[in-house]
Structure 1
């Protein structure tokens, strides 16, 4: 029985992943690090209140076999690029560094399709840089998930995003061949794929786009 360490449990993917970790017979304990108490409870759950600034002080408690990182923000919520970089790069990297130092063997990281350190687009470059730096930590197993459009109903009212999602649902079947990596998946589906990947770890490094995530869902 393993211990899972989850960052981003209040997010759209992370909240679904939290439930999958509860349901998995592989884990006896799930440690979730969040900025505020969670609205869920479970016998497996331990909640630690923290953020990037307080993470070093939590280090003795961040002991797990596997670390799951579904952290992220939006330009709407974090328009300042320096603050955005801290949340999308610095926080995931420090979480992974501490987990690795405490004995974690596997890391599961959610980034985005097109992640590329050489990109001129800030968002895509940031995702590429966090991938690069977490890969450099040399976990026994590194799993990187690169979703495109994340579909599904959110608690927060986002009219513009709802319109884009509706358009994407129409486009989805048209994205074939090499373009299929841009197909959308729901937050729940992405979480299920991550949980499935945790049960089937073979390669040292595995990157999952739409096609690879769908294959996991069909296992």
Structure 2
């Protein structure tokens, strides 16, 4: 049956690819974009809900669908304020998941990170791990967590260190074989395709996909 989906983070690297993938899919009948600023997309099955993410509960009655995809995320460089950083990477996705469950969302798909671990010394990986743990506590009927390694693809903003890393990985990736294959970089559109594919399988339970498995699922 056709699905109505909710996509948060559609302006980001993975989110923008996922939006295109959802639009192209005949299995998706309606796409609700939860946004801070409008994208002004003129496609009949795409609907935009402009919200204040600090007041998500005020918009909860409109955040409805069968499947929710969260591609929210930021970096320390883009969001140096630690409080705002935590909101974007932890509080907003968790709040959206809670609203979705109340409104009958049966699937929640989260873009996390390779190495996410609540006990990690790295603050980025620690926060991602904490979010994963909190989502698991919500008893979501179908929870899917994607842990991609270094993402490749064209971003709107410039990240010099990331560009250097991507260039380096183009040379390194072919050398990463066997157990090291899990460290290979991954294209954003590959993650997006895997997310759509898994959402159409109607799986029940909690699923965590490391980067190497995401490649296979796409």
TM-score, normalising length: structure 1: 0.94
User: Which 10-residue stretch deviates more, 207-216 or 86-95?
Assistant: 207-216
Q: Could you say what the CA RMSD is over the residues aligned between the two structures, in angstroms? A: 1.3
User: How far does the alpha carbon of each residue in 1:153-181 deviate from its partner, in whole angstroms, 9 at most, with x for none?
Assistant: 22323333211110012111222333322
User: How far does the alpha carbon of each residue in 1:116-148 deviate from its partner, in whole angstroms, 9 at most, with x for none?
Assistant: 011111100000011111111111111100011
Distance verdict in 2 for CA 1:51–1:200, change over 3 Å: same
User: Which 10-residue stretch deviates more, 68-77 or 18-27?
Assistant: 18-27
Does the CA contact (< 8 Å) of 2:182 and 2:212 recur in 1?
yes
Quote the residue 2:120 is aligned against: 119
Quote the residue 1:34 is aligned against: 35
Quote the residue 1:180 is aligned against: 181
Quote the residue 1:201 is aligned against: 202
Q: What pairs up with 1:112-151 in 2 under 5 angstroms?
A: 112-151=113-152
User: 5+ unaligned residues in a row in structure 1: which ranges?
Assistant: none
Q: Distance in 1 between matches of 2:133 and 2:182?
A: 20
Query: Is 1:9 aligned with 2:10?
Result: yes
Query: Is 1:21 aligned with 2:22?
Result: yes
Q: 4+ residue stretches of structure 1 with deviation over 3 A?
A: none
Quote the residue 2:82 is aligned against: 81
Q: Distance in 1 between matches of 2:178 and 2:131?
A: 27
Q: Distance in 2 between matches of 1:187 and 1:41?
A: 24
Q: Distance in 1 between matches of 2:158 and 2:84?
A: 23
Q: Distance in 2 between matches of 1:167 and 1:51?
A: 39
User: How far does the alpha carbon of each residue in 1:21-61 deviate from its partner, in whole angstroms, 9 at most, with x for none?
Assistant: 11112221100011111143211111011142121111000
Q: Distance in 2 between matches of 1:101 and 1:163?
A: 43
Q: Distance in 1 between matches of 2:161 and 2:63?
A: 38
Q: Distance in 1 between matches of 2:40 and 2:173?
A: 33
Following superposition, the deviation at residue 189 of structure 1 comes to 1.3
Following superposition, the deviation at residue 106 of structure 1 comes to 0.5
The count of aligned residue pairs is 217
User: 5+ unaligned residues in a row in structure 2: which ranges?
Assistant: none
Quote the residue 1:211 is aligned against: 212
User: How far does the alpha carbon of each residue in 1:81-127 deviate from its partner, in whole angstroms, 9 at most, with x for none?
Assistant: 22211110000000100001100000000000010011111100000
TM-score, normalising length: structure 2: 0.95
Does the CA contact (< 8 Å) of 2:38 and 2:48 recur in 1?
yes
Following superposition, the deviation at residue 203 of structure 1 comes to 4.5
Q: Distance in 1 between matches of 2:82 and 2:139?
A: 28
User: Which 10-residue stretch deviates more, 35-44 or 103-112?
Assistant: 35-44
Q: Distance in 2 between matches of 1:190 and 1:171?
A: 20
Quote the residue 2:93 is aligned against: 92
